[in-house]
Amino acid sequence: MLHRFQHIRRVVRPAVLLFCTLLCARAQEIEPVTFCSFNLKNWLTMERFDGRRTLHAATKPESEKERVVEFIKDINPGVLGVCEIGTDKDVADLKAHLKAAGLDYPHSERAHGGDTTRSLALLSRFPISARNSQTDLTYKIGETVFPMQRGILDVTVDITPQYQVRFLGVHLKSKRAVAEADEVLMRRNEAHLLRTRLDSIFAKDLQARIICYGDFNEHRNESAISEIIGSRASDGYMVDIFLRDVSGLVWTHFWDAADVYSRFDYFFVSRALKPQVDARKCYIYSARDFDKGSDHRPIVMTLNPPTLIKTSAAQE
């Protein structure tokens, strides 16, 4: 009888251990993470024209805010990066609108540069464990020193305690001509500052999981974008996540005055992060009335972080 009991124990115990291991593995699976980048079109206080008169110190119209929130709610991102937001008060206003729609983002970061009106912000359901935003970057054209207008938003988000992603958000100089310098050259210099920032991160960690995102105000074939991506042969190469909408179109911005559709919004990811990008769930959000909220369309990326199995299976 004792011999039979010992035999049963030898058979049952491994099965029980396997079952427990599978339970542990399932418990450690990470849900897919949706990230959205969206230029909100002046969610801030500024001078506006309502079609009849000029309004001074006016906020973004409530009807536009409502459409923006509807788009974001439909996407339901775990992390949201935005351009063209104003002060901390405006970030709080955005969070309040989203919370009223059922989207709660307890963690956030706002970053800015020389532009005192428009900022960058990132909202997250996950904790932010490091904040390294660059707000005082400058460059020279001739003898003139220029600030990087919106700086670089740089935060590390803990999807889990074992899985972090670093988000670098930018909004490069617009295509609007200015008297101070050539807008193309200004954008090129801002892109160089971003590339320098990326290189400094890779110098410390070649396996850094990075998403570089935002409104780059530049076409894919221009030198500013080429510098940000870098050489394919380099360790710091950034992969362009090519996006389309449901109709197969690639534009993200519409300039109504000229009837021009352009791809200005991008995701670039590090080689270490690329295997976790679910290409089937990366897209340009499409809505027939997108222009009722912004002149940009949101872009969306889904990450499938690797399952973390570090405990039971190895220790048993």
List pLDDT tens digits, range 291-307. 999 999 999 999 999 87
pTM: 0.88
Residue 247: half-sphere exposure toward Cβ, Cα within 13 Å:
7
Per-residue model confidence as pLDDT tens digits over 185-240: 999 999 999 999 999 999 999 999 999 999 999 999 999 999 999 999 999 999 99
Binning pLDDT at 50, 70 and 90, where does residue 24 land? very low
Domains of the chain are 31-315 (3.60.10.10)
Q: Strand order of the sheet with strand 119-124?
A: 107-111, 119-124, 79-85, 33-43, 299-303, 283-284
Burial class (CB in 10 A: 0-12, 13-18, 19+), 90: buried
Res 82: pLDDT: 98
Give the angle 72-255-67 at the CA atoms, nearest 5°: 25
Whether the predicted pLDDT of 104 surpasses 60: yes
Tell me which of 32 and 14 has the higher pLDDT: 32
Per-residue model confidence as pLDDT tens digits over 48-57: 877 687 878 8
Percent of the chain at pLDDT exceeding 70: 88
Per-residue model confidence as pLDDT tens digits over 59-80: 999 999 999 999 999 999 999 9
Q: How far apart are CA 285 and CA 80, in angstroms?
A: 14
For the chain, what is the HEC assignment?
CHHHHHHHHHHHHHHHHHHHHHHHHHHCCCCCEEEEEEEEEEECCEEEECCCCEEEEECCCHHHHHHHHHHHHHHCCCEEEEEEECCHHHHHHHHHHHHHCCCCCCEEEEECCCCCCCEEEEEECCCEEEECCECCCEEEECCEEEECCCCEEEEEEEEECCEEEEEEEEECCCCCCCCCCCHHHHHHHHHHHHHHHHHHHHHHCCCCCEEEEEECCCCCCCHHHHHHHCCCCCCCCEEECCCCCCCCCCCCEEECCCCEEECCEEEEEECCCHHHECHHHCEECCCCCHHHCCCECCEEEEECCCCCCCCHHHHC
